[in-house]
Amino acid sequence: MKIYTFLLLIFLFLLVQCTNHEKQELTETNKYFKDFPKDINLKGSPIEIKSSSFANFPTSMWKIDSILILVDSKTENKNLHFLDLNNKKYLFNAISKGNGPGELTAVSSIVGYALDKPIYAHDLQTQKAYELSIDSLFLNPNYIPTKYFNTMGSSNKLKSRLQKLARLNDSTLIGEMLPAYDGRFMVYDNDFKEKYSFGEYPPIDWKGRTDSLFFSVMVQGNIFQGSIITVPSKGFLIMSHPYLDLIEVFDVTSGKELVSIIGPEQNYPPEYEGDGIPCKTCKSAYDMVQYNNGYIFAIYSGKEHGPNFIGCSYIFQFDIKGNPICKYTLDYEIIDFILDLENNKIYGLALDEDKPIIEFEVSI
């Protein structure tokens, strides 16, 4: 009897140790920080774009090879504007605004990896992803795309809406879903057929029903919306959050969250009292995220929320394990950015209708 009791105690001890080890591993995925070992000032120069067709107020941008694509939020004519970064030349604008065939209303994502390959423009409002050809648009800016995919989810009863889209490789796309009843992210093939979903939402300090539609859509969906990018060579998905000091890194294949970068204010997990969106402790944080050569870059605000666009005066740099590397302080406030570190450039989208594109010289 004593032997059995002794063996039972050993078993329970090992079980506790394994459980504690699992909890310790989970805890270690959270990387908290407040400061950076380096702080560098970056001076920007506005790019002069000579064209009467240029965007009145671009709100987002994407880079495919040497082409910069900007989304215009104010024009009543064309949504997308194309610039050549090699010579800073305005090329053309394309795709009419509206809900009709071949038109776009609320562009959430432009996805592509080469100029000679199809790109997708996802419309948040109509839940369509139009397949575009840069060559066709270049030859005929009035070209109306006809091929599109319905991105309204089919894997749950309430039809999850695709919020943001990214490409993992030449045959795989990844979307951030709202609400994510069967997973926070959805993996698609090139025809937008759902392959599998993964990811769970982080915790929220809330006393209401967590199984309610309000919680899923209005609480989780709003607080944890963000910008997503992929790292094809690593199989990573990286997500930044505009309302939380939080950047997350996921392994797409396993669905495992590899690291959560929390700081500098560390307002996490968020408190929600139902008295506003996004939450009681939320501030404007990480608007956009990028990746280059083993490092994560994200623009950061840290300001109180307001009714208008809030600019970011900082770019934070981390290694892929979530360790803080450098804080870059900008002399322009920006709302989006593109890395071109091979040419020692960072392009920012400023809150300036006359000169919205800012070029920063940087050596990293």
Pick the more confident residue, 293 or 3.
293
| pLDDT score of 307 | 65
Domain membership of residue 16 as a residue range: 1-30
Q: Is 88 left (phi over 0), alpha (psi -120 to 50) or beta?
A: left
Peptide bond into 37 cis (omega under 30): no
Pick the more confident residue, 5 or 92.
92
2 falls within a domain: yes
Torsion of CA 241, 245, 249, 255, to 10 degrees: -70
Phi/psi for 136 (5° steps) reads -65, -40
127 falls within a domain: no
Average pLDDT over residues 203-212: 74
Average pLDDT over residues 135-162: 78
pLDDT digits (tens, 9 = 90+) for 267-286: 888 877 766 667 777 888 99
| pLDDT score of 298 | 98
68 pLDDT tier (thresholds 50, 70, 90) = very high
| pLDDT score of 153 | 63
235 falls within a domain: no
Sign of CA dihedral 102, 107, 108, 110: positive
- Which H/E stretch holds residue 105? none
Average pLDDT over residues 207-212: 73
| pLDDT score of 140 | 87
Domain count for the chain: 1
Would you say how long the chain is, in residues? 364
Question: What is the value of pTM for the model shown?
Answer: 0.87
Give the angle subtended at the CA of 293 by the CAs of 114 and 342, to the nearest 5°.
60
Q: H helices of the chain, where?
A: 2-28, 134-139, 213-214, 221-223
Residues 6+ apart with CB under 8 A from 245: 262, 263, 264, 265, 266, 267, 268, 283, 285, 286
pLDDT digits (tens, 9 = 90+) for 292-303: 999 999 999 998
183 falls within a domain: no
Answer yes or no: is pLDDT of 350 > 80. yes
Of all residues in the chain, what percent carry a pLDDT higher than 70? 85
| pLDDT score of 358 | 95
Average pLDDT across the chain, whole number = 83
7 falls within a domain: yes
305 falls within a domain: no
DSSP 253: T
| pLDDT score of 312 | 95
Pairing status of strand 324-340 against strand 312-319: antiparallel
Q: What is the DSSP string of 156-201?
A: STT-PEEEEEEEEETTEEEEEEES-TT-SEEEE-TT--EEEEE--P
pLDDT digits (tens, 9 = 90+) for 13-48: 333 333 332 322 334 589 999 999 999 999 999 998
196 falls within a domain: no
138 falls within a domain: no
Average pLDDT over residues 233-242: 94
Average pLDDT over residues 335-350: 95
Residues 6+ apart with CB under 8 A from 121: 80, 95, 104, 107, 109, 110, 111, 129, 130, 132
Q: Exposed e or buried b for every residue in 339-350, given b needs 16+ CB within 10 A? A: bbeeeeebbbbb
Burial class (CB in 10 A: 0-12, 13-18, 19+), 232: middle
pLDDT digits (tens, 9 = 90+) for 74-93: 666 788 999 999 998 999 88
9 pLDDT tier (thresholds 50, 70, 90) = very low
